[in-house]
Amino acid sequence: MDFLSQHIIAPSGQHLKLLEFLAIVVYTIHLPYVGLVIGSTAVAMWLTFSDHEIPNPRFARLAEDLLRTFLGSRFQMLVLGVLPLLALPFLYGIWFDGVPYAPITYIMLPVPGILIGYVLLWLYRSSFVGRKNSFNRHMGLGTLALMVMMGSYFVLLSSVVRLQDPEKWYRLKNLVILLLNWNVIYKFLFFVHAAFAITGVGILFFLFRWSDRPTTGDPDYAAFVRKFGAGLALAFTFALPVFNLLYVFTSPDVVFDSTVYLIAVANVFVCMLVAFMMLATLRSPGPRFTSLAFVSILGVFILSSVFDVRAMANANREHATLLEQAAEKERLEREAGIDQAIAAASGANLGEETFNKVCMQCHRFNEKLVGPPLAQRLPSYNLESLKAFIANPTKKSPDYPPMPNPGLSAVQIDAVSKYVLENYKTGGAPAAGGAATGTAPAPGAADTTQTQPGVQH
Partner 1 sequence: MIKRIVDSAVFGYFALMMVLILLLGFRWHTHRKAPVQPIAFSHATHAGKLNLQCLFCHDTADKSYYAGVPSVQKCMSCHQAVKTEMPEIQKLTKYWNDKEPVPWERVHRIRIRNHVYFSHKRHIAAGADCEHCHGALRAMTQVRQVKSMKMGFCVSCHEANHAPTDCLICHM
CA pair distance 439, 350, nearest whole angstrom: 9
Where in 340-359 is the site for partner 1 (CB under 8 A)? none
Measured from the CB atom, the residue of 137 and 319 that comes closer to partner 1 is 319
CA pair distance 264, 180, nearest whole angstrom: 23
> CB of 41 within 8 A of CB of 88?
no
CA pair distance 265, 259, nearest whole angstrom: 10
Closest distance of CB 402 from partner 1, Å = 7
Number of residues that bind partner 1 (CB under 8 A): 47
> CB of 353 within 8 A of CB of 445?
no
CA pair distance 169, 106, nearest whole angstrom: 12
Measured from the CB atom, the residue of 42 and 309 that comes closer to partner 1 is 309
Q: Is 242 in the site for partner 1 (CB under 8 A)?
A: yes
Measured from the CB atom, the residue of 16 and 343 that comes closer to partner 1 is 16
CA pair distance 345, 339, nearest whole angstrom: 9
Determine how many CB atoms are found less than 10 A away from the CB of residue 132. Answer: 8
Measured from the CB atom, the residue of 122 and 389 that comes closer to partner 1 is 389
- List, in sequence order, the alpha helices (H) in 257-409: 258-283, 290-315, 317-346, 350-357, 374-377, 383-391
Closest distance of CB 386 from partner 1, Å = 19
Q: Residues near 410 by Cβ (< 8 Å), separated by ≥ 6?
A: 391
Q: Which of 211, 258, 394, 456 binds partner 1 (CB under 8 A)?
A: 258
Pattern 202-241, binding to partner 1, x per CB under 8 A? ------------------------------------x--x
Determine how many CB atoms are found less than 10 A away from the CB of residue 349. Answer: 26
Q: Which of 78, 83, 227, 257 binds partner 1 (CB under 8 A)?
A: 257
Q: Is 98 in the site for partner 1 (CB under 8 A)?
A: no
**Region near partner 1 per CB under 8 A, out of 5-13, 55-63, 111-119, 272-280:** 272-280
Handedness of CA 404, 406, 407, 413 (dihedral sign): negative
Determine how many CB atoms are found less than 10 A away from the CB of residue 74. Answer: 11
Measured from the CB atom, the residue of 34 and 255 that comes closer to partner 1 is 255
DSSP character at residue 253: G
CA pair distance 103, 89, nearest whole angstrom: 10
**Region near partner 1 per CB under 8 A, out of 73-81, 115-123, 128-136, 255-263:** 255-263
CA distances from 45 to 40, 213, 256, 359, 403 (A): 8, 22, 40, 74, 74
Closest CA to 372 of 408, 390, 398: 398
**Region near partner 1 per CB under 8 A, out of 292-300, 314-322, 344-352, 374-382:** 314-322
Q: Which of 9, 129, 180, 265 binds partner 1 (CB under 8 A)?
A: 265
Measured from the CB atom, the residue of 123 and 280 that comes closer to partner 1 is 280
Where in 317-336 is the site for partner 1 (CB under 8 A)? 317-322, 325
Pattern 283-302, binding to partner 1, x per CB under 8 A? x-------------------
Closest distance of CB 377 from partner 1, Å = 16
Q: Is 248 in the site for partner 1 (CB under 8 A)?
A: yes
CA angle, corner 126, sides to 125 and 131, nearest 5?
Answer: 85
CA pair distance 118, 111, nearest whole angstrom: 11
Q: Is 49 in the site for partner 1 (CB under 8 A)?
A: no
Pattern 396-415, binding to partner 1, x per CB under 8 A? ----xxx-xxxx--------
CA pair distance 358, 159, nearest whole angstrom: 44
> CB of 50 within 8 A of CB of 212?
no
Closest distance of CB 245 from partner 1, Å = 6
Pattern 163-202, binding to partner 1, x per CB under 8 A? ----x--xx-------------------------------
The footprint of partner 1 (CB under 8 A) covers 167, 170-171, 238, 241-242, 244-245, 248-249, 252-254, 256-258, 260-262, 264-265, 268-269, 271-272, 275-276, 279, 283, 317-322, 325, 361-362, 369-370, 400-402, 404-407
